[in-house]
Each structure stands twice: as C-alpha cells, then as structure tokens.
Structure 1
Amino acid sequence: MPRQIFKDRVIAAAGPLPGLLTVENLKRWTEIRKGRFSGDFGEDVTHLLCTREQFSKKVPRVREALKRGKRLHILHHDWFEFSTVGEKRQPERDYSMRAQLAKENAARREAMRKEKGRRDGEKFVNTNLFHIYHDRDFFPYQIDITRDDEEKGELGQRYTLCLWESDAKPHLYWFTAKFLKRKGDSQPSYYRPSAHSRKWRAEMDLFTEFFKIKTGVDWEDRVTLEKTLPASFFQYAPPGGSLLGVVFEETMILVEKRMRA
C-alpha cells in the first residue's frame, strides 16, 4: 500500500510532462498517496510540476506561479517521480525551479559585474581586480569634494577621489578621480595619472597632492580647516557631516601625523 506522502498537497502540471507522467497517471498516483491532482490551476494548488523548457519559456502557469510567491512550489517533475518511486516525499528545495532561477539571476548579475569591471578598466580601474583601500582605522579612501561654480552655471560640481588596492598580494595601489560638472551629470570625466598601479606611498602622494590642489588644504588639515577657504575651492566634509565623523577623522589625523613624525 503506497504511503500518504502527498497528504494535504494539491499538485498541478504546467503543461505536458515527459514519459509516463500523463494527466491520468499523475491524478491516479497522487490520489492513492492521499494527495489531489488538479487539472486546472486554482488558488489551492501547492505544487506545480514543470520541465526545464517550460520554466525557461515561462509558460502561462509558470508565470502565474511566480506571481503567487514562494508559498507555491515550482518543481522539476523529477520531484514527483523520485517521491513516488521511493515512497518518500523528496525535499522541495532540491528540485525547486525558483532556486534554479535565483542561481541563473545570480550568475547573470555576476557576469554583468565582471563585464562592467572590465569596461571600467579601459578608462578607469578594473573593479574585478581592485577594491577601495581602507586604512588600519577602516577609513575608506573614497571621498567627495564639491563646489558650486555659479559663473559657469555648474552647480554641484563634484570630484570623487579614490585610492584603490589590488585584490592580489603583495598589494599595489592606484589613484583615480572622477569629475561631474554638475549635479545629475551622466557623463563623468576620469583622471588616472599613473599608467599602472604602484606602491602605496607613490599613489597616496598623488591622492593627497590632488586633494590639496583642488581644496587648497593639506590632507592632514582637512578637518580643522574645513570651510575656511573661498567658495572657489572645492570643499570637503567629514563622513556623514556629523560630530562623530569629525571626531573620528581628527583622531585618525593625529595617528597619521604620529606615524610620519
């Protein structure tokens, strides 16, 4: 006597299934295991069986099942076959087509990320190979300096300065700057003075020199001299612009000065 492995389950098919999985057999094999096979696709369906092709093509029942949310299992038909042959209901997660879709989407996003990194590398830095450098106090060397050039009508000018660190070891570094002429500008210009990545000191010097040229302030004085120069200079604000951010940066600057002393 078959076990009641489909009790309280309502099973439907997204379309014709291969082999012996005809509507008649699906109905009979489900019912003798105390489940119910539905020829239509009502709201009470708990499990939808499909082939990979039906799922990939998003046939109507698959599209509808995806809209209903995770409470409705969308499963490869092998789930039904292996469950009935072994007289033990198999874990849905092992046959979930939603999980397959999630994997495909993740793979697609990863491919897009790698392609974007490769394209960025042609004019900027390949983000597949580099990440933003953080110092020992976890300060990220990716900062914005801004100004409003009212004479040119370019409000919200912004440079984003970055010091990149290679994923590979021993680490190499690369300074870059991205410039937006105005707020909402969708065509930034890029500045990468070094033809290739180098040791930390050389690229850090480029970072701090660029900062001083644009702000008129030494990197070590960026907090104490904040907003003390004319508006023609680019302005820097500590992370978040909060008192906590100021205190953190002041502490970090003291550490930097002691290290250089």
Structure 2
Amino acid sequence: MSEHRLTAEFWLDSLRREGAAFRAAVTPETLAAPVPSCPEWNVEQLVAHVGEVYRFHAAHLVRGVSTPPDEDEPAAPTGPAVIEWWDESFRTIVAALESTDPAAPAWNWSIQEPVAKFWFRRMAHETAVHRWDAELAAGAALTEPIETRLAVDGVDEALDTFLPAGHRAGPENLRGVVTLRSTDADAHWAVRLRGAGMSLLDTGTVFDDPPHAQTAMSGTASDLILALWSRVPLSVLTVEGNPELPKALLIG
C-alpha cells in the first residue's frame, strides 16, 4: 500500500475539480460521439451514467444509516437535456457530501467500514476516471492525466476495495506476486494472487526480498490507475516478469 493518507476534504476538493473538468469536456454537439474507453457508450450515455451515480449515492448517503438502500436508480433524460440534469446531479452529490460527517454511518458495497468517508473517496475517483473518458471522447489530445496524489489513492482503492470485493475483470486462475511502483510518487504496492483470492502484502518485506516478485510493473500513478481500469493498455507500463499476472488486477 502507499503511505499516503488522504482526507475527506481532499476528496471533496478533487470531486469539485474533476467534476468541473468533466463538464467542460461535454457539449451538446458531442453527445453522439463514441467514448473509445467505454465502447458500449456514447457521450450522452456516459453523462447519464455519471449523473445517475451521483443521484443514487446522494440519496442514500444522507440517510445516516448503514443498511442497504433501495435499488431503484433515477433515470436520466435523453438528448441535450441530460447536460442540465447532470449539472443538477453534480450539485446534489457535492451538497450531500458537504453536509455529511465523514464518520457518519453510510452503507457501501465493499469490505471497508460502512461510513460516509467511503463515498467522499469513491465519488472523487468515479469522477476522475469518467472525466478522462469524456476528454478522450472529445479528442485524445485533450486528455489530462489524473492528478498524482489522487491517482496514487486510486491505486490504493483498486487494491484495497474493488479487487477484494470481487470486482475483477481479469482471470481468476493466476498465482504469484505482482509489485507496482509509481514513477512520479513515493508509492509502491505488492499483491499476492491466489487464483480467485488475493491479498495485499507488506511492501517492505517484498521489496527487500526481490525473488518473491514474479512480475514488477511501473509507470506514472495516472497510468497505473488508468491501466487497472482498462482505460489504457498494460503496455503503457513497464512490465518485467510474467506478463500474464498483471491481467488479474484489472477491475470490472
């Protein structure tokens, strides 16, 4: 795991910044454009998805309980109206987080503690990755990397939350150790793969004893998290060792 410990206020600031950048990438003229990193969607569908996520989580977050919410999700309008609807959705999630104590009870779907702090983090990362999607749809040259501290925490989230909760897109029959290292931050991770299971390791022990690392992968923090989310190919990273093992860390 990384040694970075971020605060709810950092994630909220990141959400505000990434949300503004997402909105800047979306115009009525681009709604029909395909999203290369999410081939099943066009920009209109991407905007609708993000707005639906905001409204769903804003609604259950303010309940102050850790019991699961209703599964019904709000439906987005179609056509250009979806942009104004997204604007309101974004204001709603920001207001919900601003008015909620990060330590208050709040349901989540993971192995993490059921408190609101989870959603400050999750909404920041949800927005950052989809901001990158929106910018890619607007033109590949317009994509900006995810800010380094947020990207490092995104790798943390992928490894301590998504993969342990079973959100895996890669093979589940691989065994070995994968180490990850950020080239633009003092952050590194180690994961032991046990087929369908996995565990995070004490990175100090692993890096002091290199033979245990069957695959080592490195790149900027932004490229690491975008690769784990299959936004960029693993080939953008430097991979040494068994090239199949990193595929088991892909998130779905």
* Normalised-by-shorter TM-score class: under 0.3
- Larger helix proportion of the pair: 2
TM-score normalized by the length of structure 1: 0.22
TM-score normalized by the length of structure 2: 0.22
Which is higher, the Rg of structure 1 or of structure 2?
1
* Higher RCO (Cα < 8 Å, 6 or more apart): 2
